[in-house]
Amino acid sequence: MAVKIRQIVGIGTSIWQRTSTTDPETGKTVVVDDLMLLPGDDVMLSFLTATIPFRVQSDSFTVTDLYESKMAEYDRKLVFVPIEKVQRLRGMVDPDTGKFTVTQILIKAKPGADINVLRDRLREVFPPQIYSIKTWEDEQEMMLNAVRTELAMLNVLLFLIFVVAGFSILAIFYMIVLEKQKDIGILKALGASNSGVMQIFLYYSLQLGILGTALGVVLGLLFVEYIREIAVVLSFILQRELFSPEVYSFHEIPTVIDIPTVVGIIIGAIVISTTAAILPAMRAAKVHPVETLRS
C-alpha cells in the first residue's frame, strides 16, 4: 500500500536507460546509466480500470523523489503514488458505501516469525477460493528453485574437487614412496617399525592438509569479502556487467558466510588429505630393508 505523498514518490528502472559509449581517450566501451526523469519533472501515467468493461485512465504526476529497493524486479515494476488517487482513477470505489477497495495487502512479519505458519493461519481465516495468500518465497519460487539447483551443482563440483585433490595427494605420496625406498629401508634397518614408517607419511599428509586447508579458507573468505570489488574488475576487463541486476534480481551480490559449511569443508579437506596417504603409507611399511639396500 503506497504512502500518501504529494504526487509520485519514485519510479524504478523505468526512468533510466543504459547506454554504451566509446571513451575517446582509451577507445574502450563504457556502460553509462542515464536518468530519464528527475525530481520535479512531470510524467503521464496510465492505469487500467478495475471496472468492466476495462478502460484506460491517464493522469499527470510530478516526480518528487526517487526510490531504489536494490531488487531489480521491484525497481523495474513499482511506482509509488497516492493510493486514493489511483483508486479513484481505477474506479476502485464502492458506489453504494463510498469505501475504497484494494487488490493487494502487504504484511511485514516480525523478525524471527515463521512466515509459512503465518500464511497457513491466514488461509484458515480467509477462504483460498477468494483470497490468494502467498509468502515472498511463494512469489519467488522459480528464482529460489534456480538458486537451489545452482547450490546442488556447486556441492557436486565441490565433491569432485575433493576427489581430484585426494587422487593427487595419493599419486604424490606414491611417487615419494618409490623415490625414498632406500631411505625407508635404512630407517627400518635401524629399527623403525612398520607403524612408525606409516606414521611418518600420515603425519606429513596431515600437515599438508592443514596447511592447504588454512590457505584455502583464508583465500576463500577474502574472495567472499571482496567479491563486489572483484566483480567490478572482471566487468571492466570483460567490458560487460558480470552480475546484471536484470538477470540476478539483486542490486549487488549477496554474500553469506555459513560457519557450519566452512567447518564442514575444513574437516572434509583434512580427512581426505590424510586418508589419501594411507595406501602409500602401507606400501612404505611393507618395504623390506634387506632387499631395498641390496638393490
Per-position DSSP letters for 193-228, written without gaps between them: -HHHHHHHHHHHHHHHHHHHHHHHHHHHHHHHHTHH
Instruction: Check pLDDT > 70 for residue 14.
Output: no
| 285 Cα distance to chain centroid | 47
What is the predicted pLDDT for the residue at 179? 82
- pLDDT tens-place string over residues 22-53: 666 766 555 555 667 778 888 888 878 877 78
What is the predicted pLDDT for the residue at 247? 67
| 151 Cα distance to chain centroid | 9
Phi, psi dihedrals of residue 8, rounded to the nearest 5°? -115, 125
Confidence band, pLDDT 50/70/90 cuts, at residue 204: confident
Q: How does DSSP classify residue 109?
A: P
Highest mean pLDDT among 137-141, 156-160, 186-190: 156-160
Q: Which residues contact 94 (CB under 8 A, 6 or more apart)?
A: 100, 101
d(CA 236, CA 251): 17
Contact 28, 1 (CB under 8 A): no
The residue written with cell numbers 499527470 in the block is 60
Instruction: Check pLDDT > 80 for residue 163.
Output: yes
Instruction: Check pLDDT > 50 for residue 3.
Output: no
Q: Which residues contact 200 (CB under 8 A, 6 or more apart)?
A: 281, 284
Domain ranges of the chain: 10-106, 110-136, 141-294
Query: What's the whole-number average pLDDT of the chain?
Result: 79
Contact 174, 280 (CB under 8 A): yes
What is the predicted pLDDT for the residue at 2? 35
Cα angle value 167/221/208 (rounded, 5°) = 35
- pLDDT tens-place string over residues 207-257: 888 998 999 999 989 988 888 888 878 877 877 777 766 666 666 777 888
Weakest mean pLDDT among 49-53, 116-120, 146-150: 49-53
Instruction: Check pLDDT > 50 for residue 16.
Output: yes
d(CA 204, CA 67): 58
d(CA 78, CA 106): 14
d(CA 193, CA 187): 9
Confidence band, pLDDT 50/70/90 cuts, at residue 11: very low
- pLDDT tens-place string over residues 72-108: 677 777 788 888 888 888 888 877 787 888 888 888 8
Instruction: Check pLDDT > 50 for residue 274.
Output: yes
Residue 229: half-sphere exposure toward Cβ, Cα within 13 Å: 5
pTM assigned to the model: 0.60
% pLDDT > 90, the chain = 5
Looking at residue 244, its amino acid is: S
What is the predicted pLDDT for the residue at 27? 61
| 47 Cα distance to chain centroid | 36
What is the predicted pLDDT for the residue at 153? 92
